[in-house]
Structure 1
Amino acid sequence: MAPKLERVVSPGKGNGLRAAVRLRRGELVYSAEPLACCVSSKLCEDVCHHCFTRQEKLLRCSQCKTARYCNASCQKRAWPGHKTECRCLQRLLPRTPTDSVRLAARLVLASLSPSKGRSEELYTLEEHESHLSSMSEQKKQGLSQLAAMLEVYLQQEAEGRASLPSSCRDPLSLIAKVTCNCFTISDGELQEVGVGLYPSLSLLNHDCRPNCVMVFEGTTLHLRAVREINPEEELTISYIGTLLLTDERRVQLEEQYHFTCLCQRCESKDDDALMLAGDEAAWIKLKEALPGLEALKAECDWRSLSERCCRLLSAVGGDVPDENLYKLRMTDMALDACIHLGDWEEALRYGRTTLPAYRRYFPDPHPVHGVQLMRVGKLQHYLEHTQDALDTFKQAYQILKLTHGGDHPLTTDLLMKLEECRCVTDE
C-alpha cells in the first residue's frame, strides 16, 4: 500500500510531515509502535507495564518491586525487555527513576538489540533535535542531573559505550531528545498512562487547531485526520492541551519545545475573551483556589474537593459564565470528585454544565469533546435517563468514530451502550 504521508521540510518550522494523498475526515493516516516506552511512575501500581491496561489488581515483579503486570502471560511476554531493566531498578532501590530517565534507559537498551522493522522509520533517533543550544542554563542544569542519574541507573549495562549508536552515547543529549520528543501515552478516555518515543511521528509539527489527532490503543499510536486534507498539505497535531489562554499556550510551547507558536488561533487570540468572561473579581478567586484543589485531587481527598468546589462555584453563581476557563476547570474537578464519591446526580449536573463550553473549545470532531459526552451519557444511563443517554451517546459516537475509529475498544464499548439504550426505548 502506498504511504499516506511523507517527510518534508516545512517553511519556518524545519522537518515535518505532509499528506501524500487526499485524506478523508476520520481516515487512519498512520499507525506506529514505540521505539521505547514506559508506564508513568505515578501510575506504576495501577497500569500493566506490558499492555498498559489499567487494572485494580496487578502482579508485582518479585525482583525489582516496581514492574507490575495483568497476569503471568503479560509478565512472560514483557520479560525479554524487562530482564536487563530489572537489574537496573534493583540497584536503584528504594529510589525509582523519573519517567524521562527510564525511557532514555530503555532507548539505550533497545539500541543494543535493534529491531529489523526500524529501518522503515521516516526519522531516526540520531536526527532528533536536542535543542540544548537554545535552552537556558537552569534547564540544562536540570537535564544534567537527569543525565547523571541515567548513568548511575545503567552502570554495567552501558559500559561498552563505544558499541552504542552515536545517538545513545551522550547521556545529556539523549535526555534532552527524550524530553523534547516523547509523547504522552493515554488510554481511550485520554487519561495518561505512560510515555513513549515514536520516531517517525516526532516529525509532526504543532498547531493549536490541528488537522490530525493521535489516539492510542495500548502502546500503538494511531494518527487520524479530523478534516479533509489535500495532497501536499502539512499534517499537524497539538503538542499540548489546548484549554489554555493564548499566552499560556505559547509559554508552555516555548519552554518545552523551544518555538513560538504563530498559528491562526494564537495570532487571533480566539476564545481568550470568552475564557475570561464574567466578573473578574469573582473569577480571580476561582483561579487562585485551583492549585489547592489540584493538591486535594492528587491526594484523592474527594470529599474535601467536592465540598470546596461546591462552595466556590455557588459563591460566584451567575457572575461568572460556565465558559469561563477557571469555572470550567473547577466544574470538571467537581465532576471527578462526585464520580469517585458515587454522587451520581450531582456528577450529572456538573457534567451537563460543561458540555456547551466543551463544544466551543474543542470543535468537532475532537476526542476530548467526544469523551466528555460519553462520560455524561454513562451517568444518564446509570440514572436510567435512557432517552437522554441515547441522545448523548449518539453525539459521542459521531465524534469518536472519526477520532478513534470504529474498531477502537472505546468506540465498540460506546456502540454496546447505544444498543442497550435502544433496546430499552423500543420496549
Structure 2
Amino acid sequence: MTLSRDWLPRRPEETERIAQGRELFRQIGKGLVAQKSFQSGDVILEEKPLVCAQFSWNELYKYKACEFCLRSLENAEEMVRRLTNDPSIILPYPECCDVDASKFSFCSQCQVQYCSPECRDAAWNSYHQALCLGPSREDPDHPLNQLINQWRSFHYPPETGSMMLIIKIIAMIMQAKDKSAVISKFSTFVNSVINEREDIAHKLLGEQFMDQREILRSMLTEIFFEESVQQWYTPEGFNSLFALIGTNGQGIGSSSFSRWVKATEELQLGDAEKQQLDDNIDKLYDRLQEVSGSFLDCEGSGLYQLQSAANHSCVPNTEITFSHGDHTLSLVALTDIQPDEEITISYLGCCGLDRGRHSRQKALKENYLFTCNCPKCVSQCDDESITTDDEEEEDEDDEDNEI
C-alpha cells in the first residue's frame, strides 16, 4: 500500500481528482500528511480505483455485481433471499433499496453485465475490448472461465486477491494508446517490489504452491499473451504481479442489503415500529451468518492511487468505507486530524486489529513486508500477556492450510 501506482493511463477526470487530493494532503516519503484540519466523521477523500475485479468465488456463488464498478445487481430482497436460502422473505420499505434494474446493461458480444450503460462503456474503453473474446462468459469453455476455474481450484475462500485483477491490468496495457509509457511506469513499479524481496509472491501463492503457480502462468501465457510485456510472463515477472495485488490490493465490499439497512435508519418511525424493524434486521443478520458465513457482500479487490500512499497503524485515524455501494472508496476520519498530522489506515480487518501484537505483526510482515511501530504495537512490545498461546497455534495452523 505504500508504493507508487503511477503506472496506468489516467482519464482527465482522474487527473483532476488526484490534483484536488493533493491540495488536501502532501506525501512525505511513503505516507500522507494532512494539509488542513478534519473533524471526526469527515469524509476526507473519495477515490475510484485504477482497476478492480470481483472475487472469483463470490462470482461463482451468484453474487451478481457490475463487472466494472462492483455495484450489486440484486435488490436487497433478492440478495437476502439468496443468502439465507429462503425465497419467502419479504423486506419492508422497498423504497430504501436503490438498485435500479432498468439501468442494467450488457456487453452485446459476451453478455457481461453492468449496472448502467456508463459502466459498460467505461469498461469497453478501458480494458474490455481485450477481454471480450467472443463467446458468452456464461460458457464454461470460455478461455477466461477456464483460467478462473483453475484459480478457484487452488484458492478457496476467503479470498484476498483475484486472478481477474491481473488479467484486467494486462488488458489495460493492451488497449493503451501509448503502451511504452504505461509499460515503463509499471515495470519500474514491479522492479521496486522485486528488489525489496525477490521471492515475494503474496501468501496466496507461496513457495509451497509453486506447481499451481506455474499452471496459472502457463495458462495465462497461452490464452492472454501480450508481447510488449512478455517479461511479466516469466516466473519472476508473474510473481511480481501477485506481489503487486497482494501488498497493494484493497478489499471492496458492496451489498444492496447493507445499503437498505443503512437507508432504513433514516426512516421516521415510531419507537415500537423502529424496535420491531431493528429486531427483524438482527434476526436476518443471524440467518445470513448461519447460512452464508462471510459471503455477505459482492466483494472484490482494487488498486487505489491516493489511498495506497497512506501508511498503516493499529490505531488508525481514518477508516475505509464504501458508502456509495460501488467501488468508490471513502476515507473517513475516526478522530479530529490537525494540519501536518499523518493520515493512517489499517491494513488489517477489524478481527485482525482485535488480535494480539504477535498476530498483527506476523500478518503485516508476511503480507506487507514491514514491522509495525505504531503507538499500539510499541506500548504492547514488552507485554507478553498480549500474545496468547491460542493465537500462536492459530498462526501455525494457517501456515499449513492451502492458498
TM-score of Structure 1 vs Structure 2, range by shorter chain: 0.5 to 0.7
CA–CA distance in 2 between the matches of 1:229 and 1:82? 41
CA–CA distance in 2 between the matches of 1:21 and 1:115? 38
CA–CA distance in 1 between the matches of 2:340 and 2:251? 27
- Say whether the 8 Å CA contact 1:184–1:192 is kept in structure 2: no
Choose 97-106 or 221-230, whichever is displaced more: 97-106
In proportion to residue count, which structure has more helix? 1
Secondary structure at 1:210 match in 2: coil
AA aligned opposite 1:107: I
CA–CA distance in 1 between the matches of 2:230 and 2:222? 15
AA aligned opposite 1:246: R
- Residue of structure 1 in register with 2:313 after alignment: 207
AA aligned opposite 2:219: V
- Residue of structure 1 in register with 2:158 after alignment: none
Secondary structure at 2:241 match in 1: helix
Q: How many residues align?
A: 270
- Residue of structure 2 in register with 1:40 after alignment: 55
- Residue of structure 1 in register with 2:378 after alignment: 267
CA–CA distance in 2 between the matches of 1:144 and 1:237? 35
Gaps of 5+ in 2: 1-19, 80-103, 152-160, 259-295, 398-403
What's the offset of the Cα at 1:72? 7.4
CA–CA distance in 2 between the matches of 1:147 and 1:203? 32
- Alignment root-mean-square deviation, CA: 4.5
Which is greater in Rg?
1
Choose 43-52 or 227-236, whichever is displaced more: 43-52
- Residue of structure 2 in register with 1:222 after alignment: 330
- Residue of structure 1 in register with 2:216 after alignment: 149
- Say whether the 8 Å CA contact 1:125–1:199 is kept in structure 2: no
What's the offset of the Cα at 1:238? 0.4
Gaps of 5+ in 1: 10-14, 292-427
- Residue of structure 2 in register with 1:133 after alignment: 198
Say whether 1:84 aligns with 2:130. Answer: yes
CA–CA distance in 2 between the matches of 1:40 and 1:28? 27
Greater length-normalized contact order (CA 8 Å, ≥ 6 residues apart): 2
- Residue of structure 2 in register with 1:318 after alignment: none
Distance 1:8 1:248, change over 3 A: same
The percentage of aligned residue pairs carrying the same residue is 26
Q: 2:169 aligns with which of 98, 107, 114?
A: 107
Secondary structure at 1:213 match in 2: strand
What's the offset of the Cα at 1:170? 2.9
TM-score, normalising length: structure 2: 0.54
AA aligned opposite 1:96: I
CA–CA distance in 2 between the matches of 1:105 and 1:133? 22
CA–CA distance in 1 between the matches of 2:230 and 2:213? 22
AA aligned opposite 2:49: P
What's the offset of the Cα at 1:210? 0.2
- Say whether the 8 Å CA contact 1:147–1:172 is kept in structure 2: no
- Residue of structure 2 in register with 1:96 after alignment: 148
- Say whether the 8 Å CA contact 2:52–2:68 is kept in structure 1: no
Q: 1:8 aligns with which of 10, 28, 33?
A: 28
Distance 1:172 1:192, change over 3 A: same
Secondary structure at 1:87 match in 2: coil
TM-score, normalising length: structure 1: 0.51
CA–CA distance in 1 between the matches of 2:174 and 2:117? 26
Distance 1:220 1:154, change over 3 A: farther
AA aligned opposite 1:251: K
What's the offset of the Cα at 1:257? 1.1
Distance 1:244 1:162, change over 3 A: closer
Distance 1:94 1:47, change over 3 A: same
Distance 1:162 1:75, change over 3 A: closer
CA–CA distance in 2 between the matches of 1:267 and 1:207? 11
CA–CA distance in 2 between the matches of 1:20 and 1:246? 31
Q: 2:237 aligns with which of 167, 170, 175?
A: 170
